[in-house]
Amino acid sequence: MNFSVKIKWLGHSCFLLTSSEGVKILTDPFDDKVGYEVPSEAADIVTTSHDHYDHNYIKAVKGEFVHIKEPGTYSEHGIDIKGVATFHDEAGGRKRGKNVIFKFNVDGIEVCHCGDLGHIPASGQVEEIGKVDVLLLPVGGTYTVDAEQAFEVAKLIKPAVIIPMHFKTDDNDFPIDGVDRFIAVAGNGERAGKQEIEITRENIGSIPPVLILEYR
């Protein structure tokens, strides 16, 4: 079997991760106020990083699924999941509350979804997150870390591949930055020209260190 994870961007912070055995993980589904088409996917596992309408609309998800929204360690459908407690702001959650970073081990590939991370993680949080191959990282600022802070987060976590999320596009009118600012700060970045990418142990070294997926 070719062990792999497919990563499909559904807009904002919502991704569909699919294992080589077909297990589907959906992250941070959103409602119709966000601007993107509301995700209409079936999933086995749904994670929500916090309880805001643009991250917790589980009503949109089809099928029977396990919903995970708290820090801790989990094992569901053969997927090991770790939830790490963080904050939605730089003030210990006093402005916007708590946030959970989720890391998924999918066929041996470690995919980390940062949710609405609003601060640079402390050393203990970075240690708890551990090894990361693919980092799904908010870069738009205002509600999350901005481009410069996101780059600092990436330098601490040291992923092989960064996939930016939670940035402004033509489909939403949030007061956040577009992805170009993060590309400028990171010094590289390549547009995939597609919505989904398949990552394996064999090809991960050939994937650009910053890869921007296309919505639709």
Q: Give DSSP secondary structure letters for 2-65.
A: --EEEEEE-STT-EEEEETT--EEEE----TTSSSPPP--B-SEEE-SSSSTTT--GGG-BSS-
Distances (CA, A) of 191 to 188, 210, 211: 10, 9, 6
Could you give the CA distance from residue 205 to residue 197 in angstroms, rounded to a whole number? 14
- Is 89 or 139 the better-scoring residue by pLDDT? 139
Examine the pLDDT at 33 and tell me if it is beyond 80: yes
Domains of the chain, CATH where assigned: 4-212 (3.60.15.10)
Mean pLDDT of 11-40: 93
What's the pLDDT band for 90 if we cut at 50, 70, 90?
A: confident
Residues 178-200: tens digit of each pLDDT:
999 999 999 989 999 999 999 99
For residue 150, what pLDDT is reported? 97
DSSP state of 100: E
**Bridge partners of 81?**
74, 104
Mean pLDDT of 85-90: 82
Could you give the CA distance from residue 66 to residue 135 in angstroms, rounded to a whole number? 22
Mean pLDDT of 34-62: 87
Examine the pLDDT at 1 and tell me if it is beyond 60: no
What's the pLDDT band for 206 if we cut at 50, 70, 90?
A: very high
Could you give the CA distance from residue 4 to residue 109 in angstroms, rounded to a whole number? 7
What is the rounded average pLDDT for all residues in the chain?
93
Burial of 51 (0-12, 13-18, 19+ CB in 10 A): exposed
Mean pLDDT of 92-111: 89
Specify whether the CB–CB gap between 134 and 110 falls below 8 A: yes
Distance from first CA to last CA of the chain, Å, rounded? 29
Q: What is the pTM of this model?
A: 0.95
Examine the pLDDT at 3 and tell me if it is beyond 60: yes
The share of the chain scoring above pLDDT 90, in percent, equals 80
- Residue 46: CA count within 13 A, CB half-sphere: 24
Mean pLDDT of 21-31: 95
Mean pLDDT of 94-101: 84
Lowest mean pLDDT of 34-38, 127-131, 137-141, name the range: 34-38
Could you give the CA distance from residue 193 to residue 122 in angstroms, rounded to a whole number? 34
For residue 173, what pLDDT is reported? 84
Examine the pLDDT at 53 and tell me if it is beyond 70: no
Torsions phi, psi for 179 (to 5 deg): -75, -20
